[in-house]
Structure 1
Amino acid sequence: MVHYPEINALVEKYQQYGLVVLGFPCNNFGLQEPGADASEILNGLKFVRPGNGFEPKFRLTQKIDVNGDKEHPIYTYLKRNCESPKDMFYNSTDLFYSPLRSRDIRWNFESFLISKDGYPIYRYSDDTLPLNLKSTIEALLKL
């Protein structure tokens, strides 16, 4: 799982310039976030995936829904301002929410870049590796 270490690398490089990363644990996709609370989620990261003592250098929120009838308002806002980067859904038997909507988050690690004033600027698919965002982050931070 390369996303977590790459997110930490971005935080280490750009936090001093104002980059803030928030992680929103979610169980909507393949039930991949079974942790019931912050302690269980952090232990899962540290000892299971990615494991090897990993500790996030970014803020994690409580577990939320990012899609469906129970979606958190932050995701309603983000998705309203940025269309989905993918047209197709993954296998719907691995999606644990309803209803399905065209702007839904398609899978874990889909990400948004948000301006300093809180406006969503870019939305990236789950297969975009965090380090591939460096040039865009640098442009937004005016580095």
Structure 2
Amino acid sequence: MNALSSKYAGQNFTILGFPCNQFNKQEPGANGTEIMNGITHVRPGFGFVPKFPIFEKIDVNGDNEHKLFTYLKRNCPPTKDAFDPVLLFYLPIRGSDVAWNWETFLVDENGRVIHRAAPATDPESLSADIDVALSKAKGNSQQTVVG
């Protein structure tokens, strides 16, 4: 995601990060310093510092899912057909659920979800979709990646 942030710096494009602890409890830290330490030193680690805003930890699936993710999922097909409930920490499990951390949504300047990418997708592969969205945008329109 940092590569995309750098590639599109100065253009009408923003990446937003939303930590979530619903997938194998991989984000147990408290909001703020603990989450940033986890990102920097554990996952992805190796001194990673995001070049995009990281918001407070939220639920992206289940009974307590954030309304943003309810909207995103309702407007784009899922990236996975089946889920391993042993690694998931929420209920109920639905077919439209975010499959895992780093699943990505590309949203156009009107808030329309135009692409949803599986968690293991190389962020650079989103460039073609981002380029198309930016070429269609006019004025001060903003493209956003949510992950």
Q: When the two structures are superposed, what TM-score results if normalisation uses the length of structure 1?
A: 0.90
Q: Which runs of 4+ in 1 moved over 6 A?
A: none
Q: Cα RMSD (Å) of the superposition?
A: 1.3
2:72 counterpart of 1:78: yes
Q: When the two structures are superposed, what TM-score results if normalisation uses the length of structure 2?
A: 0.88
Q: Size of the alignment, in residue pairs? A: 136
Rounded Cα–Cα distance in structure 2 between residues aligned with 1:137 and 1:10:
9
State the structure with bigger RCO (CA 8 A, min sep 6), 1 or 2: 2
Which residue in 2 is equivalent to 1:4?
A: none
Moved more, 65-74 or 34-43: 34-43
Which residue in 1 is equivalent to 2:60?
A: 66
CA deviation string 1:8-64 (max 9, x = no partner): 010011031111000110001000001111110111122222223221001111000
For residues 1-143 of structure 1, what are the structure 2 equivalents within 5 Å?
A: 7-89=1-83, 91-142=84-135
Q: Which has the higher helix share?
A: 1
SS in 2 for 1:65: coil
Partner amino acid for 1:118?
G
Moved more, 66-75 or 79-88: 79-88
Rounded Cα–Cα distance in structure 1 between residues aligned with 2:126 and 2:79:
15
SS in 1 for 2:127: helix
CA deviation string 1:41-100 (max 9, x = no partner): 1111222222232210011110000000000000000011111022111x2110000001
Partner amino acid for 2:37?
N
Gaps (5+ residues) in structure 1? 1-6
CA deviation string 1:97-133 (max 9, x = no partner): 0001111111111110000121111111112110111
Identity of counterpart residues, as a percentage? 50
